[in-house]
Each structure stands twice: as structure tokens, then as C-alpha cells.
Structure 1
Amino acid sequence: MGLDPGLRRLALGTLLAAYPGPVPPDWAVDLVADGLAGHTLFGTNIHDPAQVAASTAALRAGRADVLIAIDEEGGDVTRLAHATGSPYPGNAALGAIGDVALTRRVYQAIGAELAALGISVNLAPTVDVNSADDNPVIGTRSFGAEPVRVAAHSAAATAGLQAAGVAACAKHFPGHGATVADSHYELPTVDVSPDVLRQRDLPPFAAVIAAGAKAVMTAHIRVPALTGDGPATFSRTVLVDLLRDEYGFTGAVVTDALEMKGAALAAGGIAPGAVRALAAGADLLCIGAKVDAGLVERVAAEIVAALGDGRLARARVEQAAGRAAELAAWTRAAGTTTGTPTDLGYAAARRAVRVEGVLAGLDHPLVVQLHAASTIAEGRVPWGLGPHLNGTEEIRVVAAEADPDALRRHAGTRPIVLVGRHLHRLPGGPELAATLAATHPVIVVEMGWPANWRPVDARAFVTTYGASHANGRAAAEALGLTG
């Protein structure tokens, strides 16, 4: 016996699914016609702008008000430019520049690009205050470590996106910036009082709510004082008492991907997690990136079963689906803006570069890029100075396996430009930099979160505050290596 069609449609109205490949399969469009709230696009769905526009048109053929979401943060997290790197600097660079009008323009440009492709929700900006230098998942995705600065830029980013007709979804509530674990793999704990959250982590959320953010995304983090042993995504205290009642948010509460270990392990699977998130007050449930029709049907069936056995009240699910529908209605009614000159991001990235020390005498260097793993959020996006070098030799090495003497011999009389991401916590990175700089002219280019570490004896330390295509070009220009 199949699901009651009305209850199945109600359950589907709370779900953001996904599909594989560049063309939406029939089942993905059929689910939209059956009431699925929408789909999230990932890098595997994106080849070129014309193809993306065709995909979103195909989804809209299923239902005109389908939500089409994407993680297009600019900087290190890009889906549209996953093959080359983003033409925009990310939040850390924008925060370092400190020009909120620029932040608004950059996000409006991103929004205009999304709107032109038929994408209606951006799962951005990241408004976490990166208070932990060793944070493995936020870092350069944050506008900085100061709540007031992050709040101002978060509000500007939200206003910019929504001026372009794309709904902003600020993340990750109540703040992922103090974690030293990645919620894609485990459930991080932020063991602080609610008052510390209010002073350190929550001001940016207050700012985006005041700026009219249409959506807020939950964090799969544990805050024992508020959430007990589970994540914030499953906490009514966080999603209702704090976000809605105390901070006055009236838009859609969107979960981070329920396939992430921070949620799935705590709930015993994606489908039980969907029920727990709805019961806690979430409205729109991101299932994840690895989704097929069977998984969507299992999640919908679990929600329907929960309606039958009392785990979920029908009024709560109707409220959630209603908020998802209100979000969709806003995106259909919102006006869109025209595009922005494509050099906006590159000009901004140049303003973010910081140089400590002396770059003089940097003739024909050897560029040594240190391998750095990417997070799931970032994906395997190209980075570094390579695409921007004009005849300068570049080699790539693993820091922990590199032989400093061999690198010195290879460089000969040339200075070495050592390029890395999060060098302060890269295995073997600080040691390699120090050993090389002790007897050889070395310039270090930090393209991740810079922290406070600086290599002894290095001639200069260059900070880009991100590793996007724009950041790489800006660093190469600062070093005089582009022409």
C-alpha cells in the first residue's frame, strides 16, 4: 500500500534534494511536479552557463516555483567555477578589506549571475565568526574573528544577494566558528554558555535578520548548554526559543545537509534525522549531495510515518512546508539586476593582499606550491599561482615529504616562493618554511587562514585571505610574476 498522496506531497514540500550529473533525470523533475520543495546544485551538476540554465528550466517545467539552491560563497567555496576557481575573493578577503559597500557589490554580482541562470536560493553568506585559528571547515569562509566586523559584512552580503533577487541563507546557526572539528565527519562541540554565544557568535545572525535574510541554515554542532547531546539542527531550544523567539527570525530555517555525519550519526540515518529536524523547528531539509529517487521517497515515507505515530504534529509539517512555499513565492516575485563587470572580483582581491617584509629582488623565482587537502565544503577546486605565472617555473610538493636540500639545489640562485594554505597547521609546512628560509631567500604566500604563525628568516610573508582564482591572480601580481 502506497503513501497517502496528500501526506506524501506535504512531506515532499519540506525537502531539498539533489541529483547526479549535468541533466536533471526524469525522477528529479517528477518529484518537483509531485511537490518536492526543490533541488540543490553541486559541482557535478555544472558544466557551463548554458547547460545550467537549461537544467533550471527543466526543473521549472516540473513546477514553476521550485526552489533551486546552490553553495556559491565566492572565494574557496564555489560551484559555478569549480573547474577554475572563483573570480571573486571570499569572505576573509572582503573582511580584511573592510569596505562593506564592496562586500554588498560583490554579493550582488554573485546574485545577478545566479539569477540569470535560474538559481533562486544561495546557501550563503557564511556568517560564522572564525574565532578558532585551527577551524578546519570555516576559516577563509568567514569575514573574520571580530563579531562586529563579521556582522556588518554579513548584513551587506545579505542585502547584496537579495537585491539581485536571490534569497540569502545565512549559515551556520548558532555559529560554527569556534569549532576545531568538521561536522561533515563528526559532531563538533562548542562548550560555552549561551551568553558567550550572544556576545561572540550571534551578532552576525542578528544583523542578517535585521537585513531581512529570507533563510538561515542550522549547524550540526553540539552546544551542551542548549542542545544537550545532539546537534543544534535537532534542538528546539536553538531553532525556536533562540532563533525565532529571542532573535525574531520569521523566514525559513534550512538544515545543513542531513547526510553529514554531524547529523546522520546523531539521528541514526538521514530519514530519522529529517523527522527530528522538523520536530525541532526546521522548515526546509537539505538531504545532501548523494541523492536518488529512492532516498527522497524513504525520507518522505519516514515523515509520513512520524505523522501517523505522533513523532510529528501535522500542524508543524504544514508550517514548515508553508514557510518553504513562502520562500519560493518571494524568489518568484523578486526583481533581478543586471550583471556587473567581470573584473570586480579581481580588483577586490588585489585590495585584500597584505605584504609583511620586502619583495624587492624577486627576479625569476622558483614557485613551490605545497599540497593541501580540500574540505568537502570546498571540493577539489584548482588554486594557487600557477594559472597566472608568465614563464615562471612552478613545482608542487608535499611538505612532509619534501627534501629542503633538493629544493635549494633545484632553485639554484633563484629565490623560492613557497605557496600554501593554512601553513601553520599543514603537516611539515612550518618546518619546511623555516629550514629553507634559514639559508635561502624565501617568500611565503599564505592562501588560507593566516593565523599568527610567521616563518623565521623568511624575506616576506604575503597573505591573500583565500585561494580563489581572483586571490591567486592578485598574489601573482603583487609578486610581479604576471608579466
Structure 2
Amino acid sequence: MAIDPGLRRLALRTLLAAFAGTTAPDWAARLLTEGLAGHTLFGTNIAEPAQVGLLTAGLRTVRRDVLLAIDEEGGDVTRLAHRTGSPYPGNAALGAVDDPDLTRTVYAAIGADLAAVGINLDLAPTADVNTADDNPIIGTRSFGADPARVARHTAAAVAGLQSTGVAACAKHFPGHGATTADSHRELPTVDASPARLRQRDLPPFAAAIAAGTQAIMTAHIRVPTLTGAGPATFSPAALTGLLRGEYGFRGAVITDALEMKGAAQAAGGIGEAAVLALAAGADLLCIGARVSPELVERVAAEIVAGLGDGRLTLRRLEEAAERTAALAAWTQRPVTPAGHDPELGYAAARRALRVEGSPAGLTDPLVVQLQASPSIAEGRVPWGLGPHLDGTEQVSVVAAESSPAGLAARAGSRPIVVVGRHTHRAEATRTLIETLAARHDVAVVEMGWPGSWRPAGVRAFITTYGASHANGRAAAEALGLTAKS
């Protein structure tokens, strides 16, 4: 059944779609003429800067105020540099340095890179306080485990990004850092009282608001004392009562991707999730990465149906569209980003590096990279020391399938450098490293979220606080290995 064209256009004004490929399909441009708020770009849309600039320029000729969003956090979550790894360290490394001026400068450089290719909305920074060491989805995306530290760096990141004319979006409200589940795969639960949330999880969002962030992203997490049985994305108490009422946020509330199981499964579908999110107080809805014109139409139709059956009021939908339009208008201000040193990120990564023990004398090692599955947020981005080694032998292994004796035989008289992410989490990884260290000179490079475990017998333990291209280069230099730029 055909829907009212005016209501359809109003619904489209609250949606961020996406498309595959390095050129925009006809439907992606057509929907912009019909009201669609914009598109999110992913790694599949990125080949090289000139191509991205042409892509965004083409979309902007269709409608000047289109929102073009991306997840460009630096560190482990990068779209612009998904083929090589980011030239900037991520939040954990910046938090380890704990220099807000550096964080502001790095985020201004990220913003300048985005502005140069026509992207005007960065779904960053991550403002979550990572208090769960085994958090499977936040980890090195966080500035740390201390709320005050995360708050000051979140504010600095917002200021840096927005100085370039790129809108910031602090995420994931009211805080995804205490979870041990991934909301891409399920609906995580955070058992915390409102007082605990205000003390531990919410200070960075208050800091982002004070810094003028143009947007805040919702989390598909359940906090029973606040959201009841559903996720924060569907919670009027979280979005309207807490974020708008208590914290006074007046910008755009953006949802995390509604295709994620923490939202779609909880609602019974993406369209139903869209209605619940809008009714709760969200303004701009990320549909997800796997988007078709048919899906956009189904979501728009469900929003209009929600107006008809009372799940959603017309005034709430109009308010959401108005806030999204205000966000787009903010990005239209003329701003000329300052230039930045291309070595900025590498210098920052060196400052973040922590070396325990001594790597001196570990010449001509066998580098053993432990394979690690990326999170859905990260995607398959190259990591490790490999791009920075010149003539040093490297092997890639699965810890649980590896023979310490076989690796020791391969190394011979050479030392071994083990490179991994979250090495403390798996018994097989811990056993492999300590068995090797009992018979060999071994150094460990930890490129994930560091735990408290330190393997017995190792010569050096190097923590990078992330696995970006910049982090890898800093570690290779610290080991005295020949590094390529």
C-alpha cells in the first residue's frame, strides 16, 4: 500500500543509509532528493582519498546539506586507512599519554583528513570508560578505565574534530565500557545503579556536551535500573529523561546501527527498532552497513505506520527531522582546517609506548604474530610489526595450534618476539609464551587492551595500547628493528 509522500519524506529525513562500492548507485542519490538525511561510508566505499573526494562531491551535487558519516576513530577502528592501518594511535594510547593537547591535535588531524575528502560527520570519539578488561568490543577504543581521564580526553577529541568543521558524535551512551558482551551479536546487560552510572560511565558524556559535541550515539545495551528490559536506544528514560533532561543535551541523538542484534533482535526487526528509537528520543537512525533501497523503504514505511497506530507521534518525528537538519546545517559552516605534520600520529604512538624490561640485544629475531580475530567494529585491518620490518623473518600462527618446540627450532639461536592482542585472555596464548620464554630470549608486544598478566621469563614486555600502523611502527623501533616509514 502506498504511503503518504509527505510523511515518507519526513521519515527519510531521520535515516542514515549506506551502500556498497566505491561509486554511489543511482538509488543512493535518488533517495537524497527524496529527503534521506545521508549515508554512512564503510571500508567497502574507500579505495584512496581522491576517489572518496569524488564520491562525496557527487553526492553533494545531489543535495548540498547531505550528511556523510564515517567511523574514523583512529587506532583500531579506521575506514579511511582500512587497507594499511591508521597513521594515528587510538584512544587507549592517547589516554596512556594523558596529554589532552595531544588528543585535541590528533583529532584535529583526523578531522582535517575527513574534511579533505568531503566527510562531515565522524561517529567518534568513543567516550566509554573501559572498566571491563575483557570487553570484547570497546577495549583500545576507550581512553581508559578512569572516568576523569576519559572525560578530559573526550572533551579534547570533540574540540579537535569540530575545529575542522566535522561534527563529532560521542558514543556509546550511557556507556558500553562495563560490558563483556558485544552488542553487534547480543543485547549486553550492565548491572549498575543510577548513582554508579553517574559516577563511572556518564562523566565523559557530560564533558562531551560541555565541549559542544553536535551528536551523541546511543548504545544497544540494557541497564535494568534505567532502561528496564530493553536497550538504551529504545529507552525514553535514558534518551529523553537522562540525556536531554538531566544532562541538557540539545544536539542530535544518533543510534548505533539498527541492524545490530542488540537492537533489531530486541525489537523484532529493523523497522520496528526505528520506531522504538524515534519514540524514545533518537533523531537520526543508522540503519547499518548492509542497506538496500528496499530496506530503506521498509523502514520508512514502518515509521509512517507507527504514526498511524500510535507508537510514534507526528511531533516527535518532526522534532527528530528538525534536529537532523540542524546537524546538517552546522556542517555547512565555512571552515578551513589547519595543516598537520604527517608524522604526528607516529610521534604520538611513540609517546604511548610502555616498555617493561629491556629489549636490548634482541637482534635478528624470529617475529611470531599470534592470529587474532578482529571485532566487528574493527573489521579486517592489517596490524602487527610486518609492514615495518626489513628482512626480519615473521610467521603468523594460532596459539592453540602451535608447537613451542617447533617455533624454538625455527628460531634456532635467534631471540623470539611474540606479537599479540589481548594476550592475557587465552590460556593457550599464555602457555605458549611462557614455554618459549623458558628456553629462549623472548619479548612480547601487546597490541590489545593490556591486562595485569606478565609472562614469566620474558626479557621485555612492550605495550602499545593499540594495533594501528602507527603503534606497530613505534614497537618495531623500540625493539631496534629496522623500520620502514
TM-score clears 0.5: yes
Distance, in Å, in 1 between the alignment partners of 2:427 and 2:188 is 22
Once the two structures are TM-superposed, the CA of residue 427 in structure 1 deviates from its matched residue by: 5.4
1:125 alignment partner, SS class: coil
Is residue 208 from structure 1 mapped to residue 204 from structure 2 by the alignment? no
Say whether 1:424 aligns with 2:424. yes
Corresponding position of 2:476: 476
1:247-306: CA deviation from partner (whole Å, max 9, x where unpaired): 110000000000000001100010000000000000000000000100000000000111
TM-score, length of structure 1 as denominator length = 0.99
SS of structure 2 residue aligned to 1:65: coil
- 1:146 corresponding residue in structure 2: 146
Could you tell me how far apart the structure 1 residues matched to 2:339 and 2:399 are?
Answer: 41
Q: Secondary structure at the match of 1:439?
A: coil
Is the Cα contact below 8 Å between 2:360 and 2:479 reproduced in 1? Answer: no
Conserved in 2, the CA contact under 8 Å of 1:135 and 1:179? Answer: yes
Q: CA deviation at 1:334?
A: 4.7
2:403 is aligned with what amino acid? D
2-structure distance, mates of 1:127, 1:298 = 32
- Equivalents in 2 of 1:178, 1:398: separation in Å? 28
Q: Offset of 1:154 from its aligned partner?
A: 0.3
1:282-332 CA-partner distances (Å, limit 9, x unpaired): 000000000010000000000011111111100000000000000000000
Q: Does 1:83 align with 2:45?
A: no
* Equivalent-residue separation in structure 1 for 2:360 and 2:212 (angstroms): 48
Give the equivalent residue in structure 2 for 1:453: 453
How has the CA–CA distance of structure 1 residues 81 and 427 changed in structure 2, closer, same or farther, with 3 Å as cutoff?
farther
1:424 alignment partner, SS class: coil
**Matched position secondary structure for 2:187:** coil
Aligned 1:229-268 pairs, distance under 5 A: 229-268=229-268
Matching of residue 296 in structure 1 with residue 296 in structure 2: yes
Measure, in 1, the Cα distance between the counterparts of 2:379 and 2:35: 30
1:410 maps to what in 2? Answer: 410
Alpha-carbon contact 1:143-1:153 (below 8 Å) kept: yes
CA distance in 2, matches of 1:392, 1:76: 24
- Shift in Å at residue 338 of structure 1? 3.1
1:57 paired with 2:54, answer no
Structure 1 equivalent of residue 169 of structure 2:
169
Q: Aligned-pair distance for 1:59?
A: 1.1
SS of the equivalent of 1:428 reads helix
Q: Deviations over 1:130-182 (max 9, x none)?
A: 00000000000000000000000000000000000000000000000000000
Secondary structure of the residue that 2:362 maps to in structure 1?
coil
Q: By how many angstroms is 1:441 displaced?
A: 1.0
Q: Please say if 1:444 is aligned against 2:449.
A: no
Name the SS for the 1:96 alignment partner.
helix
1:307 maps to which residue?
307
Q: Aligned residue for 1:341?
A: 341
Aligned equivalents of 1:41, 1:175: Cα separation in 2: 24
- Percent sequence identity is 72
* Counterparts of 1:451 and 1:176, CA distance in 2: 18
In structure 2, what residue type is equivalent to 1:308?
A: G
- Tell me if the contact between 1:16 and 1:36 (Cα under 8 Å) persists in the aligned partners: yes
Query: Structure 1: how far apart are the matches of 2:188 and 2:430?
Result: 26
In the alignment, which residue of structure 2 is the partner of 1:364? 364
Alignment of 1:99-138 (within 5 A): 99-138=99-138
Do 1:24 and 1:55's aligned partners in 2 also have CA atoms closer than 8 Å? yes
Distance 1:153 1:452 in 2: 23
2:74 aligned with 1:74: yes
Amino acid at match of 2:202: L
Q: What's the TM-score once normalised by structure 2's chain length?
A: 0.99
**Counterpart of 1:115 in 2: which secondary structure?**
helix
Deviation at 1:431, TM superposition (A): 1.1
Letter in 2 for 1:344: L
Aligned mates of 1:62, 1:361 — CA distance in 2 = 60
Letter in 2 for 1:346: Y
Return 5+ residue gaps in structure 2 as ranges. Answer: none
Q: CA shift at 1:6, angstroms? A: 0.6
Q: Conserved in 2, the CA contact under 8 Å of 1:372 and 1:426?
A: no
Distance 2:261 2:151 in 1: 29
Displacement of 1:439 in angstroms is 1.6
Separation (CA, whole Å) in 1 of partners of 2:142 and 2:231: 21
What SS class does the counterpart of residue 332 from structure 2 fall into?
helix
SS of the residue corresponding to residue 102 of structure 1 reads helix
Shift of 1:62: 1.8
Aligned mates of 1:19, 1:52 — CA distance in 2: 13
Which residue number in structure 1 is paired with residue 321 of structure 2? Answer: 321
| Ranges of 4+ aligned residues in structure 1 off by more than 6 Å | none
Q: Distance in 2 between matches of 1:301 and 1:482?
A: 58
Separation (CA, whole Å) in 1 of partners of 2:427 and 2:290: 31
SS in 1 for 2:482: coil
Alignment of 1:371-410 (within 5 A): 371-410=371-410
The 3-state SS of whatever aligns with 1:396 is: strand
- C-alpha deviation, 1:230, in angstroms: 0.5
Query: How far 1:336 moved relative to its partner?
Result: 3.0
The CA deviation string for residues 399-451 of structure 1, in whole angstroms up to 9 with x for no partner, is: 00000000000001111000000111145111111111112111000000011
Which residue does 1:33 correspond to in 2? 33
In structure 2, distance between residues paired with 1:283 and 1:181: 26
1 CA distance for matches of 2:214 and 2:334? 12
Give the superposition deviation at 1:73: 0.1
